[in-house]
């Protein structure tokens, strides 16, 4: 994170969207909602089944290793003033504005 922030011009913005590991009761409650909504979103975005996996769904993946609390702690150390928000479907967003 720090290396990315150092490449910013004053007033520049770093935006990270990532996945976090479930670690708390709140995480599990949000995941429960996501478990219900995820298939519904799939049907809305892709109403017809296809036999071939779309190219956009073939990227390599790995399980999330850090909890939202760990990510927030790292961000506080490396990117003071960064804003982190929990998002649906096990995601978070981090926004950091470089000091002018």
DSSP helix/strand/coil, 62: coil
pTM over 0.85: no
Tokens 């961000």 sit on residue: 75
pLDDT per residue over 17-71, tens digit each? 999 999 999 999 988 888 888 888 777 877 787 778 778 778 888 999 999 999 9
pLDDT (0 to 100) of residue 65:
95
What average pLDDT does the segment 11-21 reach? 94
Rounded CA separation 75/82 (Å): 7
pLDDT (0 to 100) of residue 91:
92
* Contact criterion met (CB below 8 Å) for 55 and 4: no
pLDDT (0 to 100) of residue 77:
93
φ and ψ at 36, to 5 degrees?
Answer: -80, -45
């Amino acid at each position: 994170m720090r290396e990315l922030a150092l490449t910013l011009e004053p007033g520049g913005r770093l935006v990270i969207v990532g996945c976090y590991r479930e670690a708390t009761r709140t995480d599990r409650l949000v995941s429960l909602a996501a478990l219900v909504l995820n298939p519904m979103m799939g049907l809305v975005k892709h109403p017809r089944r296809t036999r071939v996996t779309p190219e956009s769904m073939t990227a390599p993946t790995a399980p999330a290793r850090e909890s939202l609390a760990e990510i927030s702690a790292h961000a506080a150390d490396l990117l003071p003033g960064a804003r982190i928000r929990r998002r649906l479907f096990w995601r978070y967003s981090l926004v950091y504005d470089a000091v002018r």
